[in-house]
Amino acid sequence: MLTSVEKIVFAVCIAATAAAFLAPLVLRFRIVRAGQPALRFGALALRWGELARRVRTALAKVLLQKCTLKNERRFTGLMHVFIFYGALTFDTMTLNHSLEGFFDGFYLFGETGPGLLFSLVVDVFAVLVLAGTLFLIVRRFVIRPEAYKTTRLDSALIYFFLIAVTLSYLYFEAFAIAHHPETARLSFLGGALAAKISSSGPTAAAIAFHFKLSWWLHILLVFGFISYVPHSKYLHMLAGPFNLLFRPERPCGELSPLDLETSERFGIEKAPDFSWKDNLDAFACMECGRCQDVCPAFASGKPLSPKMILYNLERRLLKERKAVLAGKRDDCAALMPGTFEEGEVWTCTTCGACMHVCPVEIEHINKLVGLRRSRVLMESQFPAELNQTFRNMETNSNPWGIGFAKRAEWAEGLNIPLLKDKPGAEWLFYVGCSGSFDEEGRKVSAALAGLLKKAGVDFAILGPDEKCCGDSARRLGHEYLFQRLAAENLGLFLQHKVRRIVTACPHGYNILKHEYPHLLDRLSVFSDENKAALRRIEVVHHTELIDRLLKEGRWAVGPSGLKNLAYHDPCYLARHNGITVAPRSVLGRLAPDGLREPANAKEHGFCCGAGGGLMWTEESLGKRINHLRTDELLATGATTIATACPFCKSMLVDGLKDKGRTDVAVKDIAQLLSERLG
């Protein structure tokens, strides 16, 4: 097909394209490798069975497009599927196209059934790619949703290449069939266009000229697109699968512990402080903005956009690439202010909505908490109101600062034993700070304790010995305070030989179940035997235990007259830990008419605004998040709102008061069941 000179030129084009494509890829790979070690991944490469399983999982998510076909943007996701499979098809055709330049008449599949089918598939995806691209053009440049307001030029160039490559292929296919009719196979578009060309009566020389011209035009556009990909957001097609491969298999709310004993720096202050996985996250970002769409901070008018955190991180890494690669941390500027601002870092509720919807499973929370850790532990720069919160937790082991001797006052007159007086109790009821000191939380604690007693559950509480679980301290960046509180609680669990824990607080549940066990690797005060015993402790949320006891028939419960009932899913229960069935199972027994689900429910529930330690900060920017959630729940027409988190309960009660809706009650599931049982 090509002359000897043309083949040399073509070979040079291939080499130049390979260089243009690989050079930026190698740079980004080196930046990823320059990141700090990511905990719990050191031995992954040595565990071949684990690695093989991860490869299968990642390939399934990518090839089946599970990462895109989520239920947030189904139609947009479908258009992305068209383009994805179209890209795979055209990549295969590009290989054929390239070999055809060196071997005249080459066809990758030969004269086979798959070859006939492939000729049909190429034309089908040519139509689908054009349709998908046009849809995205209209969505980005006409409809212009908020999430699409970045990198407009990059998007325009990508759309140009998608359309130009597809149309140039059809141009080539039409003249290829006109030149060699036997190559038509099942190409319905190329066949129809070739028929139009032939009917216009062109000369054989003209057809041959356009055949070669279209071949060169298509291949050069493809090579141009390939060269541009590493510089664009389309890089996610390469980095995204690796991000899925190396995604830590842990609840999205779990944080990794800092090494407080040997580290000289804590948290993230400069670009080199990010882990290699953080850097990979930055390059894997699709810039689709799904995270921004569901972020409660962004929805309430605050400066935080999870998308922009990744967007700005990527640009900072590239800007300081020389210093990052050379390991010259001192040559890098601080990330705050400049790359990130206080209003971004301190308005994240760590609700995890961004991580749940991300197609390539980027971890946003770790980066924001890492920035908080640096501000708190290294620079003492944090919202002023947290001074009192941290001081209260340091002196009295609770954010309220109430004397720890009063921790069990809620239980006075209820005949609830202390664990020190009832050694060997089957269950420890870990009450938590809210359940001990907050007015609304104390009601939940009393209701749950009454239920457990009525069900004949053998349980006790720690009382004044109990410490704050440390959730707020950790998510606000005070890792030192968290680890101190955690070590004290773990010591108590060990001392009393605790085997099973039930708690009514999803934050406490998450941290006791997932983060305490992993913290043990960093605590030298416990022996290996003691660590093993602590890791064996079973931790359940009270909705799980209540559901279990109901199914065992521990209480005689029939449907009540409870109507117009809505349920608010706590983020740390539903999204971070996947507990959505048990609460609804319990409420289903109490509400004969069923639940009134708000617009955002279950794993897509909207945050109350108290997570991430923000219960203890002033919400001075934008609207109040609890007001937005209250509006969603009121829109259901509910007269009673059930929840399963003391923080959520407090925020929703405040939201209803602010809106003058004191006619709507907010109650924990334990309270509703307790009232039903009288």
pLDDT for res 43 = 44
DSSP code for 668: E
Contacts of 403 (CB under 8 A, 6+ apart): 396
- Distances, alpha carbon 585 to alpha carbons 417, 547, 643, 667, in Å: 30, 7, 13, 16
What size, in residues, is the chain? 678
The phi and psi torsions of 641 (rounded to 5 degrees) equal -115, 125
Mean pLDDT by 10 residues, the chain (678 residues): 88 95 96 82 51 84 80 78 88 87 81 84 92 92 86 92 94 91 87 90 91 93 95 91 86 85 90 94 92 94 94 95 94 92 94 92 93 94 93 93 90 91 93 93 94 94 94 95 95 95 96 94 90 95 96 83 91 95 93 89 94 91 94 94 95 94 94 90
Side-chain half-sphere CA neighbours of 442 within 13 A: 12
Which residue's structure tokens are 């006075």? 412
pLDDT for res 41 = 45
| C-alpha span between 145 and 142 (Å, rounded) | 9
Tokens matching residue 2: 């090509």
Tokens matching residue 552: 């065992």
- The bridge status of strand 640-643 relative to strand 565-567 is parallel
- Distances, alpha carbon 244 to alpha carbons 54, 187, 248, 287, 448, in Å: 8, 36, 9, 16, 40
Q: Which amino acid is at 542?
A: H
Per residue in 651-662, is it b (16+ CB within 10 Å) or e — as a string? Answer: bbbbbbeeeeee
pLDDT for res 378 = 93
With residue 436 as reference, give the H or E element that holds it: helix 432-437
| C-alpha span between 306 and 321 (Å, rounded) | 23
Q: What string of DSSP letters covers 446-509? A: HHHHHHHHHTT--EEB-GGG-----HHHHHTT-HHHHHHHHHHHHHHHHHTT--EEEES-HHHH
Pair 654, 626: CB distance under 8 Å: yes
Q: CATH number for the 271-378 domain, one of 1.10.1060, 2.40.50, 3.30.70, 1.10.287?
A: 1.10.1060
Strand extents, DSSP E, 492-573: 500-503, 538-541, 565-567
Reply yes or no on domain 4-32+51-245 having CATH 1.20.950. yes
In the sheet with 595-596, reading across from the earlier edge strand, the strands are 595-596, 565-567, 640-643, 665-668
Q: What residue spans define the domains of the chain?
A: 4-32+51-245, 271-378, 396-546, 551-677
pLDDT for res 493 = 95
Pair 80, 148: CB distance under 8 Å: no
Pair 265, 378: CB distance under 8 Å: yes
Pair 589, 650: CB distance under 8 Å: no
pLDDT for res 72 = 63
| C-alpha span between 660 and 673 (Å, rounded) | 27
In the sheet with 427-429, reading across from the earlier edge strand, the strands are 459-460, 427-429, 500-503, 538-541
Pair 433, 466: CB distance under 8 Å: no
Tokens matching residue 56: 């299968």
Pair 667, 565: CB distance under 8 Å: no
pLDDT for res 71 = 66
- Distances, alpha carbon 477 to alpha carbons 172, 244, 256, 365, 510, in Å: 59, 27, 12, 12, 17
Tokens matching residue 63: 């090839």
pLDDT for res 45 = 45
